[in-house]
Amino acid sequence: MMPGDALVAFGKKVRSMRKEKGLSQEAFAALAGIDRSYMGHIERGEKNITLTKIYQISDALKVDIRSLF
């Protein structure tokens, strides 16, 4: 898997889990403490995010971090 492919797969997983929880991207970004436009970049696989951001996302989704991969 190419690095870009991993980012896209991660973003798709985040988007899917967010939608399962019935959260808009804006509401989810606020819960995670991440700017809404930046969250859009994450969900589209356009940003190579930090581990800190991944933990913020898992906390906002109330899931174990491993479930994001």
12-33 pLDDT tens trace: 999 999 999 999 999 999 999 9
Q: What is the mean pLDDT of the chain?
A: 94
**Any idea what the Cα angle at residue 40 is, between residues 38 and 46, rounded to 5°?**
80
| pLDDT of 10 | 96
- Whether residue 2 is predicted with pLDDT greater than 80 in this model: the reply is no
pTM attached to this predicted model: 0.90
| pLDDT of 1 | 61
Q: How many CA atoms lie within 13 A of 6 on its CB side?
A: 6
| pLDDT of 26 | 96
Q: What is the DSSP string of 38-65?
A: HHHHHHTT-----HHHHHHHHHHHTS-G
* DSSP structural state of residue 69: -
Q: What is the DSSP string of 13-39?
A: HHHHHHHHTT--HHHHHHHHT--HHHH
